[in-house]
Amino acid sequence: MTTTNIPTLESVLDNQTTDYFREFQAFLHQTFCNENLAFWIAIQQYQHEYPEHGDERTCHTIVHTHIRSNSIQEINIPCEMRQDILYQVYENRNYHPEVFTHAMDSVLELMRSNSFIPFLQQKQQQQRNVLQQEEQRKKSTSRLFNTAIINNSSNNILTSSVSCPSIASHHSSSSYSSSTPSVFHRIKRTLLFGNIVVTKRRPSSMPSTPRTSGESSRRSWSPWRKRI
């Protein structure tokens, strides 16, 4: 509820089917001030049903319910105003709705200052609480979502490590792999061109053609040539 759409007391009372009216009525009941609204509604109906001369029975009912001292729903009005209404009804037998006009205005202002303004403040606080709870819920959801993403990523990495160890160890062995080719190259050169020559053992029945002159000279004394 922003400043631009704050309702007035009159607009709330004139639309008794709205949520605002029902909420305000409940607020008055909670704060033990519902007699003011009950009197205001009773006078509204009385003015609508008997606009010309009023009705004796209905007028007496209103007086006995709201005007007389210690009545069931006595309204808080000045003593002079109360006495004037009683005099008009009982002495002058004036039942016209205008008899209650000043009392109705007094009750309206009493509801405005003592009930409607606190009602609006309470409603604004409730809306702020709802917004804060919604913001906290969004933050909590965001934290849970981020945690779920991190856990899912960790599980994927762990699964990859179990199923493909070589992939998992690739990063840890990258520094070693970068240096091993030169070592293997030196070993290979030593084996091929050094004093040690590595050859595959072949069966005596399957001689092969010598590849180098050195190999030919070595094979000249091999056992199968001596038997020839």
Sequential pLDDT tens for the chain (228 residues) = 555 578 999 999 999 999 999 999 999 999 999 999 999 999 999 999 999 999 999 999 999 999 999 999 999 999 999 999 999 999 999 999 999 999 999 999 999 999 999 999 998 898 888 888 888 888 888 777 777 777 776 666 666 655 555 544 554 455 444 555 565 566 656 555 554 444 445 555 555 555 555 555 555 544 544 444
Q: What is the pLDDT of residue 134?
A: 84
Give CA–CA dist 71/65, Å, rounded: 5
Q: What is the pLDDT of residue 129?
A: 87
Q: What is the pLDDT of residue 197?
A: 45
Six-digit token string for 81:
């105003």
Give CA–CA dist 35/128, Å, rounded: 30
Give CA–CA dist 181/174, Å, rounded: 12
Q: What is the pLDDT of residue 194?
A: 54
Domains of the chain: 8-137 (1.10.167.10)
The DSSP line for the chain is --GGGPPPHHHHHH-TTSHHHHHHHHHHHHTT-HHHHHHHHHHHHHHHH-SSS--HHHHHHHIIIIISTT-TT-----HHHHHHHHIIIIIS----GGGGHHHHHHHHHHHIIIIIHHHHHHHHHHHHHHHHHHHHHHHHHHHHHHHHHHHHHHHHHHHHHHH-HHHHTTTTTHHHHHHHHHHHHHHHHHHHHSS--------TT-----SSHHHHHHHTTSHHHHH-
Q: What angle do CA 163, 165, 168 make, to 5 degrees?
A: 105
Distances (CA, A) of 178 to 141, 170, 172, 181, 187: 45, 12, 12, 7, 16
Would you say 41 and 25 are in contact if contact means Cβ atoms under 8 Å apart?
no
Q: What is the pLDDT of residue 103?
A: 98
Give CA–CA dist 187/114, Å, rounded: 99
Would you say 40 and 115 are in contact if contact means Cβ atoms under 8 Å apart?
no
Residues sharing a CB contact under 8 Å with residue 38, sequence separation 6 or more, in sequence order: 66, 73
Six-digit token string for 164:
């493909």
